[in-house]
Copies of this chain bind each other. A is one copy, B any other.
Amino acid sequence: MKRTALAGLLAASLLIVAPASADEGMWTFDNIPAAQMRQSIGFAPDQAWLDRVRLGSAKFGGGCSAAIVSREGLVQTNQHCARSCLQNLSRPGQDVVRDGFSAATRAEERQCPGLAVEVLTASADITPRILAATQGQTGQAFVTARNAATAAIEAECKAGAADRRCQVVALYRGGQYALYTYKRYDDVRLVFAPDNAAAFFGGDPDNFNFPRYAFDVAFTRVYENGRPAATPNRLKWRSTPLVENEPVFIPGNPGGTSRLMTTAQLEFQRDRALPYRLEQLSEMRGRLTQFGSLSPENRRMAASALFGTENSYKGIGGRRLTLSDPSVFALKAQQENEFRARLAGDRDTLAAYDEIAAAMTTYRTFWKAHDLVELSPGQNRLVGWARTLVRGAAEREKASGERLPEFADARLPATSRNLLSDQPAEAPLMQLQIEFWLTKLREHLTVDDPMVKQILGRESPEALAARLVAGTKLADPAERKRLWDGGAAAIAASNDPLIVFVRNFDAQARAIRARYENEVDGPISRGQERIAKARFRVYGNAIYPDATGTLRLSYGRVAGWTYAGQTIAPFTRTPGLFARATGVDPFLPDARWTTAQSRLSPNTIFNVSTTHDIIGGNSGSPLVDRNGDVVGAVFDGNIHSLGGEYVYDGATNRAVSVTSTIIEEALAKVYGRADLVAELKR
């Protein structure tokens, strides 16, 4: 899909790597490219604007973004960001994802188990302190020293404040370290989510496509001390429609990009990691689809897992397609070569490239074991809890700075809250997931691998998964609390089959993690740190860091695009929804919409495409105008944006949002929530 734009990209690349092209970049709030913004969209925000928008933006859960949109704690995000909350609130016979949710009164607003919303209140450059702490260290010693310094800095910052989270963030792949301080809301309640038929109209077929008609919005409310939080720093609501070409901004938390990876890292992604992930996602998709087709109950149970699987599959598929385009890869190689040519004489930085390549070569010999023994177990809720309990008990015996980072004092509250919240773990789905993981473990590492023998014993993946799920009591939050509070003694005494199971191979899993830190993460971090320093020397601050799941600002315009001779307009309008409705899922609007159809204005802009450089994690971000007012909620990118992991192509890369105009109209006319509209406008 990227071919037509490559000539342009190649031309641009003669300037190179760093200096971003128009509308490119996920910028930190303390380093926005003002001149470039003015040139491209005719406007650049001042410091007051930046502060206001930052304090009205939020991180939503682990992987989404949001905006504070009323003075009484109302938080706007996507329905698909609230999906895990909807899933967690579902019960047998009660499918909250499918049916949506609407709390007529505040008393009916329901707490989302385990969900937190965070606002970035301050940031500080702590690069010198981290560099001093890690000076001269390599391999695992480097990782250990960095973790210890991080734990200390975060603990100092948190200083016992219950509603504060402190996070050391490595920007520019280690070229800069920042300390971020968040105001954290731990009590987040669901206010409104539409039916899935409206939120995800078009389903997987339309996902990452445009024109689009998704009402992908949801509202939650943050509470403090049992009452709606006072949030004076809310973003204001704009009711007037967007205009083509007007400048707009997206503050949000893009999860991760790989633009500063070296070609050795990218080759590994292209040839190994991405195909592996895609095949696993495909197979899981097949399993979940078949599982869900058995009954409405199964469909309900598997809904979020299937959505997540299909969404990842499509997203990663686009990344693979981009990286496997020889001309895209040639462009990345050319950029790297040109930058290296500028480094002539800087042997240390040039050596960093070789060290990273050597680390990737090493990683190729054990990456599947790392994935399947250390990383995958946490992806199932039950096994993840068991591991948190087993490791947490052991780690809490140590000093904070010596623990695995997720158990350091400053991070323990989030870790334990996630463990102890009342999230369902429904047995049939858990069993399917655990069986799948164990099957892949055996398949990829082979039955003759000692670790596989240790993990499976003489059981089959099917029998073992069934036994673990049938016997464990960890689905009960009270039992998890008992074991968590009981610490190492309780874990040692436990006969819970899942605890016994995880305990049995935890030493091996930790050993792989240590090996990864020593032979892969350490050398790569050290190498990237040196490359980043060289980049600063050459380009100054005209570069943005790879996305890290932290707050960034993207800028751009309301615009469609032209591809393969076809021009796509930036706006869709309500009548298009009904024209696209075939009457069968996923093109089947809920009765509330068809009933309201005649009352809906044919001119309302429904979804909009903009030129922003965003990526997964930006979902739920507000789309704001030059005044910093909310004009929509970002929920997707077009198909061309999927290569954004590696390259931004301003000609075709588009972000997609649901507009404030349709949110306002549908809340009032489809869902009978004029009260919410009134709150937004207050």
Answer yes or no: A533 CB below 8 A from chain B CBs.
no
- Within the complex, the shortest CB–CB distance from A151 to chain B, in Å, comes to 39
- Residues 458-489 of A, flagged 1 when their CB comes within 8 A of B and 0 if not, give 11101100000000000000000000000000
A537 to B567, CA, bound (A): 52
Most B CB within 10 A of own CB, among A209, A270, A313, A584: A584
Q: Name which residue of chain B comes closest to A294, CB basis.
A: B294
Is the pair B279, A460 in contact by a Cβ cutoff of 8 Å?
no
A463 to B136, CA, bound (A): 65
- Residues 267-290 of A, flagged 1 when their CB comes within 8 A of B and 0 if not, give 100111001001110111111111
From A10-18, A72-80, A349-357, A440-448, the one touching the partner chain is: A440-448
A317 to B584, CA, bound (A): 36
Answer yes or no: A557 CB below 8 A from chain B CBs.
no
Is the pair A280, B282 in contact by a Cβ cutoff of 8 Å?
yes
Determine which of B290, B458, B587 lies in contact with A582 in the assembled complex, contact meaning CB atoms within 8 Å: B458
List the B side residues contacting A272 at CB < 8 Å.
324
Is the pair A206, B584 in contact by a Cβ cutoff of 8 Å?
no
- Residues 338-350 of A, flagged 1 when their CB comes within 8 A of B and 0 if not, give 0000000000000
Answer yes or no: A94 CB below 8 A from chain B CBs.
no
- Within the complex, the shortest CB–CB distance from A444 to chain B, in Å, comes to 10
Answer yes or no: A223 CB below 8 A from chain B CBs.
no
A361 to B458, CA, bound (A): 51
Most B CB within 10 A of own CB, among A209, A324, A442: A324
Give the size range of A's interface with the partner.
35 or more
List the B side residues contacting A293 at CB < 8 Å.
462
Answer yes or no: A496 CB below 8 A from chain B CBs.
no
Is the pair A324, B283 in contact by a Cβ cutoff of 8 Å?
no
List the B side residues contacting A287 at CB < 8 Å.
286-287, 289-290
Q: Name which residue of chain B comes closest to A289, CB basis.
A: B287
Answer yes or no: A42 CB below 8 A from chain B CBs.
no
Is the pair B286, A209 in contact by a Cβ cutoff of 8 Å?
no
A587 to B294, CA, bound (A): 30
A459 to B588, CA, bound (A): 11
Answer yes or no: A505 CB below 8 A from chain B CBs.
no
List the B side residues contacting A320 at CB < 8 Å.
275
Interface members, chain A 283-314 (any B CB < 8 Å): 283-291, 293-294, 313
- Within the complex, the shortest CB–CB distance from A659 to chain B, in Å, comes to 22
Answer yes or no: A326 CB below 8 A from chain B CBs.
yes
A585 to B460, CA, bound (A): 7
User: How many monomers of this protein are in the complex?
Assistant: 2
Answer yes or no: A92 CB below 8 A from chain B CBs.
no
Q: Name which residue of chain B comes closest to A287, CB basis.
A: B286
A562 to B165, CA, bound (A): 55
A326 to B585, CA, bound (A): 44
Answer yes or no: A397 CB below 8 A from chain B CBs.
no
- Within the complex, the shortest CB–CB distance from A292 to chain B, in Å, comes to 10
A191 to B187, CA, bound (A): 70
Q: Name which residue of chain B comes closest to A205, CB basis.
A: B447
- Within the complex, the shortest CB–CB distance from A469 to chain B, in Å, comes to 14
Given A278-B279, A459-B584, A584-B459, are A443 and B324 also a contact pair (CB < 8 Å)? Answer: no
Answer yes or no: A30 CB below 8 A from chain B CBs.
no
Is the pair B446, A209 in contact by a Cβ cutoff of 8 Å?
yes
A463 to B588, CA, bound (A): 14
Q: Name which residue of chain B comes closest to A279, CB basis.
A: B282
List the B side residues contacting A271 at CB < 8 Å.
324-326
A270 to B432, CA, bound (A): 32
Answer yes or no: A204 CB below 8 A from chain B CBs.
yes
A293 to B291, CA, bound (A): 10
Answer yes or no: A226 CB below 8 A from chain B CBs.
no
Q: Name which residue of chain B comes closest to A462, CB basis.
A: B293
- Within the complex, the shortest CB–CB distance from A316 to chain B, in Å, comes to 10
Is the pair B443, A205 in contact by a Cβ cutoff of 8 Å?
yes
Q: Name which residue of chain B comes closest to A280, CB basis.
A: B282
A317 to B276, CA, bound (A): 10
Q: Name which residue of chain B comes closest to A206, CB basis.
A: B447
A287 to B324, CA, bound (A): 28
Q: Name which residue of chain B comes closest to A310, CB basis.
A: B443
Answer yes or no: A128 CB below 8 A from chain B CBs.
no
List the B side residues contacting A206 at CB < 8 Å.
447
List the B side residues contacting A565 at CB < 8 Å.
none
Q: Name which residue of chain B comes closest to A456, CB basis.
A: B582
Determine which of B204, B291, B317, B585 lies in contact with A290 in the assembled complex, contact meaning CB atoms within 8 Å: B291
Answer yes or no: A583 CB below 8 A from chain B CBs.
yes
- Within the complex, the shortest CB–CB distance from A363 to chain B, in Å, comes to 15
Interface members, chain A 424-454 (any B CB < 8 Å): 432, 442-443, 446-447
Is the pair A205, B446 in contact by a Cβ cutoff of 8 Å?
yes
- Within the complex, the shortest CB–CB distance from A73 to chain B, in Å, comes to 39
List the B side residues contacting A290 at CB < 8 Å.
286-287, 290-291, 432
- 20 pairs across A/B with beta carbons < 8 Å? A202-B447, A205-B443, A205-B446, A205-B447, A267-B326, A270-B324, A271-B324, A271-B325, A272-B324, A275-B324, A278-B278, A279-B282, A279-B317, A283-B283, A283-B286, A283-B289, A287-B290, A290-B290, A458-B583, A463-B584
Other contacts beyond A275-B324, A287-B290, A293-B462: 4, CB < 8 A: A205-B447, A209-B446, A283-B283, A286-B289
